């Protein structure tokens, strides 16, 4: 693979030089170009998936006239709002191939992008709360092992060895019965993923255009040939769309519907404390997941607000349920103050699997439907959409995730399979 032509390569020596110079000489990490009238590839949405798509188009497919159009600021959507759990412990072989491709790309990404994405493979422990949970979990773990994913089943003591501060009370509403761990799972720095891809794409000539909202499509007969934007029309050879919660809004502008409903997903952080939790925990029964950030905050969330929403907040009843679930697992967190609560609008497909591939309209391609769990998939989502845009063909990994599965009935039902959706 060729070296990315960064204007400034980041390095320890550079950090030292800048430190001595009072951090005054860093320069911009990417340009702020005005939109050109025409590109070979236009990517709508400057979240992780859109930026990664542009990067891989330039890096792997030699595309040199690429633009990313972002209505706000890059990473300001779900990519910058998510709780950053990465893992590939999925039930179905199609999903395992997809998410493990992503995890493997993540493992080399800091080097590749010359940008520290702070990938911390601290392990992800999923908890079982009853004998029945445990039996289902053993079945899932077997499926994952057959998929080639590094998972281990744990008994209750095994869980307590991983999570020292978990509730040991057998009379807890959700007692710990056992669990399983994926040790290659963990967390990464969300902004760094967006910014790292943006900087590397920019270095290869991709125009990243912020404050540029796509408001409609231009057609030549049945084919999409460009977009209308808040900064004027832009013609395009092929268009990729990676706008997560707003997929339905853009699909309507192009004249089709998607098997997607948009919901608010909320998360919260507590005040920072000293290190007490050095892994990621998830519970299928309560929906709760939690990790401790490098700053010391407990970062946690759980299920969706279960009605359609484009309001980026999150309702109080679900918020209370999330906090109750956290405190059941970690009673000592009762004394922590809540620092922030927020929500993102997520694009949920009926089978909790994404849509990658052609849209019903010629010239327009999809990367959406990641719902509550697409941060972990960013490198793969971008890599695959770039492949499809450049070649016009599916890669074997993306083929099962085509929109046509909703007509053929070959759904990949991870809501039932993997249990937890993040």
Which positions lie near ligand FAD, rule CB under 6 A?
Answer: 44-50, 69-72, 76-79, 81-85, 213-214, 242-244, 246, 250, 265-267, 301, 344, 346, 370, 372-376, 422
List C-alpha distances in Å: 210 to 44, 48, 198, 205, 231. Answer: 11, 14, 11, 15, 10
Name the residue among 85, 92, 86, 87 with its Cα closest to residue 140. 92
Helix ranges (H only) for 272-402 are 316-329, 378-391
CB closer to other proteins out of 160 and 358: 358
286 binds, among other proteins, ligand FAD, none (CB under 5 to 8 A by kind): none
374 binds, among ligand FAD, other proteins, none (CB under 5 to 8 A by kind): ligand FAD
The residue within the footprint of other proteins, chosen from 131, 257, 334, 337 (CB under 8 A), is: 257
Alpha-carbon gap, residue 222 to 226, rounded angstroms: 12
End-to-end Cα separation, the chain, in angstroms:
32
Tell me the torsion sign for CA atoms 114, 118, 122, 124: negative
257 in Cβ contact with 251 (< 8 Å):
yes
The residue within the footprint of other proteins, chosen from 88, 167, 309, 372 (CB under 8 A), is: 309
Q: Interface with other proteins includes 244 (CB under 8 A)?
A: no
From start to end of 350-396, where are the E strands? Answer: 355-358, 364-368
Six token digits for residue 324: 């109750």
Q: How far is the CB of 306 from other proteins (least distance, A)?
A: 6
23 binds, among ligand FAD, other proteins, none (CB under 5 to 8 A by kind): none
The residue within the footprint of other proteins, chosen from 63, 241, 260, 281 (CB under 8 A), is: 260
CB closer to ligand FAD out of 58 and 254: 254
DSSP 157: H
422 binds, among other proteins, ligand FAD, none (CB under 5 to 8 A by kind): ligand FAD
CB closer to ligand FAD out of 76 and 331: 76
Put residue 260 in one of left, alpha, beta given phi > 0 → left and psi -120 to 50 → alpha: beta
Six token digits for residue 281: 């925990």
Q: Interface with other proteins includes 182 (CB under 8 A)?
A: no
Q: Interface with other proteins includes 357 (CB under 8 A)?
A: no
261 binds, among other proteins, ligand FAD, none (CB under 5 to 8 A by kind): other proteins
Q: How far is the CB of 217 from ligand FAD (least distance, A)?
A: 11
Q: How far is the CB of 156 from other proteins (least distance, A)?
A: 33
User: How many residues form the binding site for other proteins (CB under 8 A)?
Assistant: 25
Alpha-carbon gap, residue 150 to 144, rounded angstroms: 8
CB closer to ligand FAD out of 125 and 156: 125
Q: CA 284 from chain center: how many Å?
A: 19
Q: Interface with other proteins includes 400 (CB under 8 A)?
A: no
30 in Cβ contact with 208 (< 8 Å):
yes
106 binds, among other proteins, ligand FAD, none (CB under 5 to 8 A by kind): none
Q: Which range of residues in 69-77, 200-208, 300-308, 332-340 is near other proteins by CB under 8 A? A: 300-308
Residues 314-353 that bind other proteins (CB under 8 A): 315-317, 350
Residues in the chain: 422
25 in Cβ contact with 224 (< 8 Å):
no
The residue within the footprint of other proteins, chosen from 146, 310, 324, 391 (CB under 8 A), is: 310
């Amino acid at each position: 693979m060729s070296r990315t032509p960064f204007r400034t390569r980041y390095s320890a020596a550079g950090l030292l030089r800048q430190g001595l110079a009072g951090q005054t000489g860093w320069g911009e990490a990417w340009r702020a170009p005005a939109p050109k009238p025409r590109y070979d590839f236009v990517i709508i949405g400057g979240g992780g998936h859109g930026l990664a798509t542009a990067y891989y188009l330039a890096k792997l497919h030699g595309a040199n006239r690429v633009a990313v159009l972002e209505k706000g600021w890059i990473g300001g959507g779900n990519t910058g709002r998510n709780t950053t759990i990465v893992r590939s412990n999925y039930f179905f072989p199609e999903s395992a191939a997809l998410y493990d491709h992503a995890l493997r790309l993540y493992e080399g990404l800091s080097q590749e992008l010359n940008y520290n994405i702070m990938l911390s493979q601290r392990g992800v422990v999923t908890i079982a709360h009853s004998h029945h949970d445990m039996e289902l979990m053993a079945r899932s773990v077997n499926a994952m092992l057959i998929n080639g994913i590094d998972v281990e089943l744990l008994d209750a003591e095994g869980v307590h060895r991983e999570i020292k501060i978990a509730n040991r009370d057998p009379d807890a509403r959700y007692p710990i019965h056992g669990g399983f761990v994926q040790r290659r799972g963990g967390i990464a720095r969300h902004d760094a993923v967006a910014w790292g891809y943006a900087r590397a794409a920019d270095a290869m000539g991709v125009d990243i255009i912020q404050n540029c909202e796509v408001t409609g499509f231009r057609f030549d007969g049945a084919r999409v040939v460009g977009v209308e934007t808040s900064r004027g029309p832009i013609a395009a050879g092929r268009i990729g769309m990676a706008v997560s919660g707003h997929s339905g809004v853009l699909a309507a502008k192009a004249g089709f519907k998607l098997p997607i409903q948009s919901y608010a997903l909320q998360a919260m952080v507590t005040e920072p404390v000293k290190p007490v939790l050095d892994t990621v925990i998830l519970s299928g029964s309560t929906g709760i997941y939690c990790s401790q950030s490098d700053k010391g905050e407990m970062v946690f969330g759980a299920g969706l607000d279960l009605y359609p929403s484009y309001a980026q907040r999150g309702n109080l009843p679900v918020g209370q349920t999330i906090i109750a679930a956290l405190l059941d697992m970690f009673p000592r967190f009762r004394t922590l103050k809540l620092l922030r609560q927020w929500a993102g609008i997520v694009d949920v497909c009926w089978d909790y699997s994404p849509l990658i591939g052609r849209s019903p309209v010629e010239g327009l391609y999809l990367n959406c439907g990641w719902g509550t769990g697409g941060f972990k998939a960013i490198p793969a989502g971008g890599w695959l959409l770039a492949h499809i845009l450049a070649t016009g063909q599916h890669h074997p990994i993306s083929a099962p995730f085509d929109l046509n599965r909703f007509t053929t009935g070959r759904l990949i039902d991870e809501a039932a399979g993997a249990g937890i959706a993040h």
